[in-house]
Chains A and B, each alone.
Chain A
Amino acid sequence: MSFWKKIASSLALCLLVICNGSTVATALQSSSATYGIDQAQFGNGGELDACSTTYCSKQTAGETAVGNSASSSYQTQAGGLVTDRQESLQLIVNGTNTDIGTLTTTSTATTTATFSVKSYLASGYAVYTSSPGPQNNGYTMHGMTTAAASSQGTEQFGINLVNNTLGGTCNAPANFGHAATQIPDGSFSYGQAAPGYDTCGLFKYKDGDAIAQSATSSGETDYTISYMFNISALTPGGDYKLQQSIVATSTF
């Protein structure tokens, strides 16, 4: 093979187009059957491991293209040294321990919790809630199996992932919650609340339901879960605990 053909091969590999159906996989970032190239970067500059005694960083400068591009058959994660080029899923739950006090039949209790998701080189992700509702000594507070409004005096536990406001068309029991936020903006991140959990003033809870999703690879989306609690005169007395596990699953 001539040197010019070798150059052409290395240029193609350095763009790191991830195609379906490759025949050989090795530990190098890019390779053919005979040659391999690792840690290649064509740009104005960069450093894989720029380190002080305490911190390290990956750096690039002057990249001409960054981010995800996809067709129906291929997708690429373009960018320099700081771009993650393997399947990735990051789920950060801001683990909370919240005590919202004592419930009564004449009031509605609300609270919120947050989590964030990003996933690259995926054809999408879904976030599931994996836990029963609030429990007390074997008794589980009634989860709202269909999205519905708050009703004081009726035993209800439900969530949504939108911004809730008092009055108006929303008519939520309080001003609480927040819509999904794309980081840094909607051109990089695409997560949203799942159906059933995406309407202001309506709440739902079924163990195992998808509560958030993205149909493509996505940068970071910050979500806020809004929780709503009502009790009836028949709700057994005691301490109720909700221990909610959030599970994110990406499809690659």
Chain B
Amino acid sequence: MSNEIKSLTKRATAAFGALGLGAALTVAALLAPHAPMAVALTASGGQVQTRAIYMSTSRPGATAQSYLVSFKPATTGTLEGIVVDFCSNDPIAGDTCTAPNGFSVGTPTVNFGATSAGNPTTTGTTALPGTWTPSAAHTNRTLKLDNATGSSLTAGTLYGFTITTVTNPDATNTSPSFYARVLTYATDGTDFTNYDGGTEGTVVDYGGFALSTAATININVKVQETLLFCVVTDTTDPGTAGHTCSDSVYVTGHTPDLTIGHGTNVKIIDNSQIDTATAFMQVSTNATSGAVIRMHAANACANGGLSSDSGTTCAISGLDNTTAGRLVTATPNTGNAEFGLYVGNGYATTGVATSTTNITADPNYHNASNVTEPSTIGGPLTNVNDLWFGLDNTTNSGGVTGTYGDTIATTGGAPCNTTNAHLVFGAIASLTTPAGIYQGVESLIATGTF
């Protein structure tokens, strides 16, 4: 050690004592005059301010990601080159730069448009003036923006541009933190062309950034497919009374055993009027494509009509049509005995805030102009045109008498919640209908498409 350096050490120690920094301080390094350094970077301006890089995701290795680079220049003046260099080692301009494992700016595509306030910067960014051509360097570690004619940037203005082709550093890096440096060049000459970390040459402004990848938070949850369907009968509308299929006690106590007819002690049908009986159906499903409701008639005879001999014959025939129509042309009925179904459109359940109305009746069982139901549930029709009926036994391989029955309504291809609809069965005898007890067993099936 030279005498000069020894003297220097003594004086440094004494200086700290005089400053009152405490006893027993140790000078751990020496100030040694040395040959003028080979300065890797010379900056004529200063450090850019309010600098940040917004990543679209922090997931390691994510591809095709966006990085919004924003900063305020320290210097007003013309620039022809901007470099953004991504490093795993540090953000210090002038240091060498090691690429983070897996990182790439890609064949860079840069969006130079301005961004609005809050998206994501607080005040929004201003677009770089002029035309800038992006390119990659150092195996896609570095983004270079070249403006051959130069554009003037204003100190204190927040500029931004978005690289949209970035691949994040991957998970093999020893630290999720990584860095970037921005350097601006007055010309796109040799220094800009030959840029590398540690050999920046002469720049205008510079600045460092810190970024970080991070693990992804993964949470799994399950939702069950659901379908809840019930058919009941009641003297009052259960939907408007707020009943749902979830109420098993109510459903069990209101099974749809319908009796069609008029009279006080014994209900009969004759040719004098159309008698009705009403059931109510309700559907709830989260099926993405909604549900279809079909009806299958157990009596295969006479279009799924009513039988007094367990289905061998049906003296009261099902209404043989493929579109809704009158049960008979006039009352008293001088034609055939008929049996049919009317299906109403959907309505919500009272008291269920999220109840929906999306049940649409099939046109075979519903005519929009003829939907006037008896004022009393299960009463007679006043006029043959009040309500039109149907009992399709031909569509889809046999209609109501086919294997899967006939479609009577749908939820319109969408989920539904506690949606109700009326099912009005009508019947009228002819002058020659044999006496007897006639029955029909109609099975309703709801099918969800998930």
Contact = CB atoms under 8 A, between A and B. Distances in A.
Q: Do A and B come from one complex?
A: yes
Interface of A: 3-4, 6-7, 9-11, 20-28, 31, 34-46, 62, 64, 86-104, 109, 111, 113, 115, 119, 122-123, 126, 128, 130-131, 134, 136, 139, 153-154, 208, 210, 225, 227, 229, 231-252
B47 A249 contact: no
Contact of B16 (A28, A42, A250): A42
B214 interface: yes
Contacts of B93: 25
Interface stretch (B128-136, B138-146, B216-224, B301-309): B216-224
5 contacts: A27-B95, A42-B25, A86-B91, A93-B215, A123-B50
Contact of B222 (A7, A101, A208): A101
B40 interface: yes
A97 B219 CA distance: 6
Contacts of B11: 3-4, 7
A86 B94 CA distance: 13
5 tightest Cβ-Cβ pairs between the two chains A and B = A95-B215, A237-B225, A89-B210, A91-B212, A40-B29
A233 B92 contact: no
B212 A236 contact: no
Contacts of A6: 8, 31, 33
Interface string B192-229: 00000010000000111111111111111111111000
Contact of B219 (A20, A94, A96, A238): A96
Contacts of A115: 214
Interface of B: 4, 7-8, 11-12, 15-16, 19, 21-22, 24-29, 31-34, 36-37, 39-44, 46-47, 49-59, 62, 74, 90-96, 120, 176-177, 179, 198, 206-226, 284, 286-288, 354, 356, 415-418, 450
A28 B21 CA distance: 25
A231 B21 contact: no
B219 A98 contact: yes
A68 B266 CA distance: 96
Given A24-B39, A130-B58, A252-B52, A96 B214 contact: no
A250 B52 contact: yes
Nearest to B416: A234
A249 B53 contact: yes
A231 B56 CA distance: 29
Contacts of A97: 218, 220
A98 B218 contact: yes
B224 A237 contact: yes
A86 B214 contact: no
Contact of A92 (B22, B51, B74, B176): B176
